[in-house]
Amino acid sequence: MYQNPVLFPQVTNREDLLQTVSFFDDDTGEALDMVRRTLAAPGDFTGNVWTVTCGDVITASVSNVTIKDYPFGNEMLALPLVVGLGLAIAAGSPVTIADPTGLNTATGYVTSYAPATGALVCQFGIAFQFEIRGHDRGFDGGFGPSSSIGTYSEGVPIITAQLGNMISNVDLGRIQIRVPAQTFSKLRHRTYSAAMTMFDGYDTRQVFLGKLPVQQGGVTMMPLPVSTPNPYGLP
């Protein structure tokens, strides 16, 4: 899955950055499910009766929960439920919720559980972090020529995007990065470092490291002001 280097096509700082990132199985070529949920029918499913399974623990919840269909953002990264009290549920444990039919399900990881109240927070789906930083032209990937690792810093991120904030799940195995032109205009005429990581609630993995060449757009930022239909007052 990890790609390095990724060479982005040249863009300008007067347009939206619009990139789709696809995830496929290396062996089968099939799109990977980055959300791990099933839906009995197209469209969002909302229910208030759930069977919650966490290892050997099986409990019930009557919390109102929505399993989203595409497209969506971060709606399922911190879903709250109320389950039984005093259960052996630990943060980071795999968890699955299923409606009474068993056809609408979501699988993820426990973020937190309060045994005294039964408050359970789960992450269903993968969180993404995308950052654009200044690229050090003298070195590749932030590493120096000596034996030490990570000697040279590329500074703080200039633009940062997360799932739900300029990143969306748009289809099975596909996410879309969309940085609006007003934000992208912070960049200048140069090549930048662009990288993404993913976190499923338990593991963090690097998705790619890349280089993003940006040209000066040379035009006024859109949208332009609406002009007067008859600026000269002609009849």
Please give the radius of gyration of the chain, using alpha carbons only, rounded to the nearest integer. Answer: 23
Residue 231 pLDDT more than 70? no
Q: Residue 88's pLDDT is what?
A: 96
**Section 139-161 average pLDDT:** 60
Residues 107 and 35 sit within 8 Å (Cβ to Cβ):
no
Q: Residue 171's pLDDT is what?
A: 95
pTM (global) more than 0.75: yes
Domains within the chain, CATH numbers bracketed: 3-28+127-215 (2.60.40.10), 37-123 (2.40.10)
**H/E segment holding residue 12:** strand 11-12
* Model pLDDT for residues 188-217, shown as the tens digit of each residue: 999 999 999 999 999 999 999 999 999 998
* Bridge partners of residue 166, in order along the sequence: 162
End-to-end CA distance of the chain: 65
* Bridge partners of residue 121, in order along the sequence: 80, 112
**Section 117-141 average pLDDT:** 84
Q: Residue 232's pLDDT is what?
A: 59
- pLDDT greater at residue 228 or residue 24: 24
Which pairing describes strands 50-54 and 57-61: parallel, antiparallel, or unpaired?
A: antiparallel
Number of residues in the chain? 235
Residues 159 and 187 sit within 8 Å (Cβ to Cβ):
yes
Q: Residue 76's pLDDT is what?
A: 95
Q: Give me the residue label for tokens 């899955």.
A: 1
187-190 long-range contacts (CB < 8 A, ≥24 apart) are 187/13, 187/132, 187/158, 187/159, 187/214, 188/13, 188/214, 188/216, 189/13, 189/214, 189/215, 189/216, 190/134, 190/135, 190/214
> Peptide bond before 223: cis, by omega within 30 degrees of 0?
yes
- The angle formed by the CA atoms of residues 125, 179 and 5, to the nearest 5 degrees, is 75
Residue 98 pLDDT more than 70? yes
User: In b/e form, how buried is each residue of 195-218, taking b as 16+ CB within 10 angstroms?
Assistant: bbebbbbeeeeebbbbebebeebe
- Alpha-carbon distance of 162 to 128, in angstroms, equals 5
* Model pLDDT for residues 40-96, shown as the tens digit of each residue: 999 999 999 999 999 999 999 999 999 999 999 999 999 999 999 999 999 999 999
